[in-house]
Amino acid sequence: MATPTETPPPPTPIFLRLSYPAPRVLLVRMDRPKDLNAMSTTGQWEMDSVWKWFDQEPRLSVAIITGTGRAFSAGADLKEWNNSMSDDSDPKNRMGNSPAFKPLSRRLGKKPVIAAVNGLAMGGGCEFIVNCDLVVAAEDAYFGLPEVKRGLAAIGGALPRLIRSIGLQRASEFALTGRKITAQEMHEWGLVNKVVPKDQVVDEAVKYAEMIAQNSPDAIICTRAGLRQGWETASVERAVEWTLEKEFAELQRGENILEGLQAFSEKREPQWKASKL
């Protein structure tokens, strides 16, 4: 289903394919299957521009990220990384130090992103899912942070977030051993919402996205901000205050709160306006 947008999406000629499977829903597909959807520097810049556009596009409320082929993503392109280590360029420009490096694993953003994990999610690909708002995984998907086996470290944002999500001991087991974790184990640990057959993983993610997208676009942004503040900050009460001062204050000045309350009083479905938050 085509979804009109107010502004055209950024070009994605190398790594990504964009589509609109339901109203207000964006599907981002990593499409480099021969390389297990590993991210080159060019691919990372595409990701960076797509997420920035998604957050600013008022006619979209939720996104899904998935991969083509047997992998979700194997993470950074280690061949390119190795080549960048052997040249004489400024270390600040090497893969891993680029401003676009890990554009989803360190993304704060305004709107929710659902991971539809169709296959292996390793390294940076696994760091993506740690920072996604919901995760649907195929039964045969598996996850890992094998950086320690390659002389690297998972510096894309996953390490502190894993502590908050699954605790020190499980996070340590995950990151220090570098072992593969099954989808079912990730579900038991609380990092995966639902495990489904491989051919249903995107459809199940779309179902979640549709449930989210039918709600007020302003309320989605405000609610996610409250959740994220609680996850990213130490003080629960301060997280509430920040959300009240910013997103909730903007929500109360918008049209959608009035529409939602009036629709409830009139016993009808609300007709939401594009968010201005």
Ramachandran class of 107: left when φ > 0, alpha when ψ lies in -120 to 50, beta otherwise: beta
> Any residues with CB less than 8 A from the CB of 14 and at least 6 apart, and which?
32, 40, 42, 43, 46
Report the alpha-carbon distance of residue 243 to residue 250 in Å, rounded. 10
First to last CA, the chain: 25
185-224 per-residue burial string, b: 16 or more CB within 10 A, e: under 16: ebeebebbbbbbeeeebbebbbebbeebbebbbbbbbbbb
Catalytic residue numbers read 76, 124, 127, 147
For 92, the token pair is: 């600040």
Q: What is the DSSP letter of 111?
A: S
Measured from the Cβ of residue 142, the count of other Cβ atoms closer than 10 Å reads 21
Residue that the structure tokens 């049209």 belong to: 255
For 41, the token pair is: 């520097």
User: H/E/C letters for each residue in 11-46?
Assistant: CCCCCEEEEEEECCEEEEEECCHHHCCCECHHHHHH
